[in-house]
Structure 1
């Protein structure tokens, strides 16, 4: 899961722990120049760019814990998380911990999975509008 810097059991060639952000390289380049980690994140980023919504990729949450959001939209102070590894038990555990942190600090969170990414034009404007963010 992006954002939670858990390194359970993953080692690099030197035997050192490797976090999610190191394990999955950001190699997909978006229209606005961001480098993201998956094709789904590229679709989300490009959609936000085309909708003229100012956004940041992999923004650290303003909390003590070392947690990063997939996307942050300053207007409305909205965080977007794309959950891409639904069949991985370790991922599910980290996902739950991350959701709990969003709730603990009262952050605005939009959660997306593959089915929503395939239909962003219908889904994302409505979700963003709940937080006062207008898509063009």
Structure 2
């Protein structure tokens, strides 16, 4: 139980956060960032709310979004997460790095209704802000560097999240389609729950998850990390953890693996890497690695 001094401090900080937001006190921006690290959920909640109110007043948007993002994703207090999500919405295009997370929250059945609702609203707002910003800019094809029309830019962004002219778009689309076909043809191994995977290693992981009642998505297409599109082997939506099985050892495969691992790290995603040598002790490996992220098997059960 908190002592009276703790309660007094919490009230003072809470009142201060409300006042900063109400008065638009941009000079106190740093105070709010510090309050987001408070042990009090109420202080964090009100600080997030105040940061949202300062979004239009010239504060450091990158710093605000960097501080708000982790709160929105995984603060233990759901109402604090809700206020952080609303604040991210206010930062518009500056919060685009959290679009994938917001979309996940909006569609995750494990989330509270109000989290899903506000995450969907934030994602829609940020998408529209990006669209408006893009419409007023000159864009060049990533491959041939020709100037894009508005339609070319919109089409390529919707499909690939990269700018391509129509000619390059068609070439990239064909390459992607061939890759998709190859991946689907490689899926020949059935798991316990009927999912068809590409390797025995992936089957072992899928069966481990199924046996323990852990919800997962396999090979989810076009999952966005930053500006890149990837297809994680497994995604655990309840805890926002990715599992990749690195089953080959060719030089080309290793280069792709290192690039993908770097993307996960740069975006702050929680990744569990599994290698063929891990399979004989898969249960211990997955339990240990999940515990490193603060989860036990009981946490993941529905």
Q: What is the TM-score normalised by the length of structure 1?
A: 0.79
2:199 pairs, out of 28, 33, 38, with: 38
Q: Tell me, which stretches of 5 or more residues in structure 2 are unaligned?
A: 1-173
* Equivalent residues, number: 120
SS where residue 72 of structure 1 aligns?
A: strand
Cα distance between partner residues in 1 of 2:275 and 2:230: 19
Question: Which protein has the bigger strand share?
Answer: 1
Which residue matches 1:47?
208
2:234 pairs, out of 62, 65, 71, with: 71
Alpha-carbon shift at residue 21 of structure 1 (Å): 6.2
CA distance 1:91–1:49, change in 2 (3 Å): same
- Residues 98-133 of structure 1: CA deviation (Å, up to 9, x unaligned): 011101111000000011122112211111122233
- Residues 49-92 of structure 1: CA deviation (Å, up to 9, x unaligned): 11111111012433331211000011221000110112x00001
Asked if 2 retains the 8 angstrom alpha-carbon contact of 1:52 and 1:135, the reply is no
Which residue matches 2:142?
none
Structure with larger RCO (C-alpha < 8 A, sep 6+): 1
Question: Which protein has the bigger helix share?
Answer: 2
Q: What is the TM-score normalised by the length of structure 2?
A: 0.37
Cα distance between partner residues in 2 of 1:55 and 1:117: 19
Q: Tell me, which stretches of 5 or more residues in structure 1 are unaligned?
A: 1-15
- Taking only aligned residues, the RMSD between alpha carbons, in angstroms, comes to 1.8
Cα distance between partner residues in 2 of 1:107 and 1:132: 14
